[in-house]
Amino acid sequence: MRHSLEIQPDRKKAVSNAASLFTNRQRWFRMMLLLLFLALMLSITFAVTLGPVKISPITVWKIALSHLPIVQDYIEVDWTKAQERIIWDIRLSRVLLGGVVGAGLAVVGVVIQALVRNSLADPYILGVSSGASVMATLVILFGALPVFGQYALSFGAFLGAMLAMFAVYMLARIGGRIQTTKLLLAGVAVSFIMSAATNFIVTMAPKESGIREVMFWMMGSLAGAKWEYLSIPTIVVMLGSLYLLTQYRALNALLMGEEVAFTLGIPIDYFRNILIVITSLITGAVVAVSGSIGFIGLVVPHISRLLVGSDHRRVLPMSILLGMIMVIWSDVFARLVLAPQELPIGVVTALCGGPFFIWLLRRGSYSVEGGAK
């Protein structure tokens, strides 16, 4: 009896410590989420102000709010038509499209890394973006899939992404398990095949005028951003992200292995197929409007896990905000560093993501439970 009474305070202390740790983590997560949201608002504001024509942040927000039905009657017009055209028609749509693209690529990176339990995986490295580029190039140069009309590019990119993702997954799956080495090798192989197919399509293009446009698009660019391009990727990314947030427990279970997830009641095969479709759909919708932008899906989820751990309830919203911020500022750098010329945004992200990928390789082991170790 005395022995049990001595142990009971220790149990209470352990429970109290666990509760305190959970509270601290929740507080830290909320603080980080708030800081990132504020950083995103500042990023959008200053990204719109930067350019050959300098416009104040206050003017930016006045012009943006003046297009909202409820608020526009209370905004005093003190800007020129030229400023309104620059902000509303050119810069703001581009910045918002960059945010949507960043959110989509980050979410896809989180899901792929959870699916294969490897922090080196992302849609660019695994060839998913290259698969989307093949079909998108066919649509741009040869008018493929005309039956889908204005949605041909989005549907073609989605179809190519899904085929590439499925091919990589099946090649890397040995004995019911995903092997890291085979995963990376399969991704590289599929990426090379898809890139070769894209180059072949470009060389067979009937008009030389479209080749330069396609090559620039293949390296990633937001230069052609328009308001009408925002609707499809925004809806796809929002709905896909909301669904994935509701499935955070299943994603967490995947981190412990398929056997453990199965014992927890997760329908592995069905859930895996759903994830493949969702990641392909998001990748296709994003690639259709921005081209192939690499390494966002690799870098952002890893940083998120370093900040808030591996729980997808926290990783997903953190990755969305970080991805938006990273693509917005990558695009700012791409359009200003060689102004009036413009770099492809994929060049900027590769220059940042390449060294990060090498750093992950040098660390030794790669699991998503806590990032690379």
Mean predicted lDDT score pLDDT of the chain: 83
Q: Give the domain range for residue 122.
A: 31-363
Answer yes or no: are the C-beta atoms of 328 and 95 closer than 8 Å.
Answer: yes
Quote the pLDDT of residue 12: 60
SS3 23: helix
Instruction: Compare 56 and 72 and report the one with higher pLDDT.
Output: 56
Query: Is 143 within a domain?
Result: yes
pLDDT band at 115 (very low <50, low <70, confident <90, very high): confident
Query: Is 292 within a domain?
Result: yes
Answer yes or no: are the C-beta atoms of 120 and 128 closer than 8 Å.
Answer: no
Residue 165 has pLDDT above 90, yes or no: no
Q: Name the most confidently modeled range: 43-52, 151-160, 175-184, 339-348.
A: 43-52
Query: Is 179 within a domain?
Result: yes
Q: Which of 198, 122, 210 is nearest to 157 (CA)?
A: 198
Query: Is 57 within a domain?
Result: yes
Quote the pLDDT of residue 292: 82
SS3 71: coil
Q: What total number of domains does the chain contain?
A: 1
For the segment 314-348, what is each residue's pLDDT rounded down to a tens digit? Answer: 999 999 999 999 999 999 999 888 878 888 888 88
Query: Is 13 within a domain?
Result: no
Query: Is 358 within a domain?
Result: yes
Q: 344 Cβ partners below 8 Å, 6+ apart?
A: 216, 219, 220, 221, 291, 334
Quote the pLDDT of residue 321: 96
Percent of the residues in the chain that have a pLDDT greater than 70, as a whole number: 88
pTM recorded for the entire structure: 0.85
Which token pair is 156?
Answer: 């073609």
Answer yes or no: are the C-beta atoms of 59 and 65 closer than 8 Å.
Answer: no
Q: Can you give the CATH number for the domain in which 277 is found?
A: 1.10.3470.10
Quote the pLDDT of residue 371: 45
What average pLDDT does this structure show over 141-149? 84
Angle at 309 between CA 162 and CA 347, to 5 degrees: 50
Instruction: Compare 93 and 294 and report the one with higher pLDDT.
Output: 93
Query: Is 175 within a domain?
Result: yes
pLDDT band at 368 (very low <50, low <70, confident <90, very high): low
Which token pair is 185?
Answer: 């090798």
Query: Is 245 within a domain?
Result: yes
Largest interatomic CA distance in the chain: 89
Residue 93 has pLDDT above 50, yes or no: yes
pLDDT band at 309 (very low <50, low <70, confident <90, very high): confident
Of 108-112, 128-132, 216-220, give the lowest mean pLDDT range: 216-220
Question: What span, in angstroms and rounded, lies between the C-alpha atoms of 45 and 54?
Answer: 12
- Helices in 89-246 by DSSP H: which ranges? 93-116, 128-142, 152-172, 180-203, 209-218, 231-246
